[in-house]
Amino acid sequence: MNHYFEIKDLKVGFKTFEGYKRALDIEHLAINKGESYGLIGESGAGKTVLALTILRLLAMPPTVVESGQIIFAGEDLLTKSENEMRLFRGKRISMIFQDPMSTLNPVFTVGEQLRQVIQNNRGLAKKEAERVALETIDLVKLPDARNIIHKYPHELSGGQRQRIIIAIALSCGAELLIADEPTRNLDVTIQAGILKLIAELQRDLKVSVLFIANNPGLVSAVCNQVAILQEGKIVEKGTVREVLRNSVHPYTTALLRAIPKSKQDKIDLKKLIASGEVSNGGCAYFSRCLRRQDICSSKCPTLNLLGGTHFAACHLNGERGEL
């Protein structure tokens, strides 16, 4: 089956003073056109590295792409030159970054920044670009667009700034939207509004979305499919129902149990993760797994089909995690 966006056997690492460190080792990840796909993992799992690799925004060196393919609409992005990639960034693939204050330039109004992106990518005259900018601000449901475009980033709230970032990402007709923890620095009520906005835009504009988060609850609110990333490897993937309601991999189960169910709920780390032993070329989760076996320390598991679209990379072979 030909997918709209597909990653195959991608291996990416970094050269450091301490030697080479592999950051990504992804066997397969596929997103269909118009689909919302979630990517979940703890901090340091490689989620942002994957997003930046897709857009070819990592400096090379020290970044090393060992092998693999990133296929978008039938074209391998890893074979494109820098000039060719500029035709993809913004116009066809856009990214919402984690922190809007570090993304927006504090010395320009948000209207100027939005207009510049539109002019650079769509070749419109200034007046026409301003019209498109106003329409895009209306699209992300910010009231009084004519007033908003004259404000500087520090004059807007966190939720308003994030909506401006979404407007910039969609202003040039992007087909694939990469949302890298877009609600990370927002309070719960603002998070809900941003999640609803992304879901509505994905449905109305028919864009494909790669939604990156460390909270499974956020992903389940906006995504159909989900993959669990652990130390650069996908350890479980499938539909949201298959993965989050019937978790197989111990890492997925630990992530789900780490979410407090109430203010009084206390998380016992000893019941979530083990410690002490280190694997020798085996499973990356071996040292923290409560259900590890001897084979886990020497043999790295690969993704195996469990049923439907549910895959897991675990030697437990289908033992269900308790939620």
Give the chain's mean pLDDT: 87
Neighbours of 289 (CB within 10 A): 21
Which H or E run includes 178?
strand 176-180
Residue 1 has pLDDT above 80, yes or no: no
Residue 276: CB atoms within 10 Å? 6
Q: Tell me what percent of the residues of the chain surpass a pLDDT of 90.
A: 49
pLDDT at residue 262 in the model: 65
> Could you tell me the pLDDT band of residue 275, with boundaries at 50, 70 and 90?
low
What is the reported pLDDT for 266?
Answer: 65
Give the helix, strand, coil percentages of the chain, each rounded to 5: 35, 25, 40
Q: How confident is the model at residue 271 (pLDDT cuts 50, 70, 90)?
A: low
Assess whether pLDDT exceeds 50 at residue 319. no
Residue-wise pLDDT for 25-73, tens only, equals 999 999 999 999 999 998 888 999 999 999 999 888 889 999 999 999 9
Residue with the bigger pLDDT between 240 and 257: it is: 240
pLDDT at 92: 92
- The torsion defined by the Cα of 213, 142, 119 and 131, in degrees rounded to 10, comes to 160
Minimal CA–CA distance to 3: which of 210, 305, 248, 219?
210
Whether the Cβ atoms of residue 29 and residue 54 lie closer than 8 Å to each other = no
**What does the alpha-carbon distance between residue 155 and residue 134 come to, in Å, rounded to a whole number?**
18
Round to whole Å and give the CA distance between 181 and 73: 25
pTM of the predicted protein model: 0.89
**Which residue ranges form the domains of the chain, and what is each CATH number?**
5-92+173-312 (3.40.50.300), 103-172 (no CATH)
Q: Give the residue among 279, 157, 268 at the shortest CA–CA distance from 230.
A: 279
pLDDT at 113 over 90: yes
Model confidence at 173, in pLDDT bands (50, 70, 90)? Answer: confident
pLDDT surpassing 80 at residue 199? yes
